[in-house]
Amino acid sequence: MRAALLLAAAVWVADQLTKAWVILALPPGYRGEAVGGVFRLVHVRNRGIAFSLFHDSGPLVAIGLQVLVAVVVVVLLVHLARGSHDRWVGGGLALVLGGAAGNLTDRLLRGEVVDFLYFFITTANGELAWPAFNVADAAISTGAGLVVVGELLRSRRGNDAPDSR
């Protein structure tokens, strides 16, 4: 459990440091030069959750509901991480926890989340892009993937024994 909390804290710190740099170094609305035609730094703010869901909602929904959901998720993740003895699942839950805490911090401090990583492919019709995201979002997605892998491996082993490797 201690290693999981340290990993979650490291994700939170990395997320907050990168967002602080973006806020200080890049003006809102910034769209940097493309790197290799597939990536650019941007500075956008997201008042919604998961791919800007509820972005246009009123302040009660935009802040209240999102903070409530985030707090419940963080508490649930701490509980699940405590009970996990599988490295894949525990590590994945720690990444999700750190990411959720990072985005929750943004919502509490700013009322919105700072996003700055933007990947795209240029086509004849313009850019085919993934929505801008941040370190917390990347940790959440990676962590969810690790939880799935851990559960698949556990299922393949045919028992509930933890991965002792």
| Active-site residue set | 115, 137
CB 100 within 8 A of CB 74: yes
**24 contact partners, CB below 8 Å, separation of at least 6:** none
98 CB-contact burial (10 Å; exposed 0-12 / middle 13-18 / buried 19+): buried
Tell me if 160 sits within 8 A of 151, measured CB to CB.
no
Cβ neighbours around 79 below 10 Å, total: 11
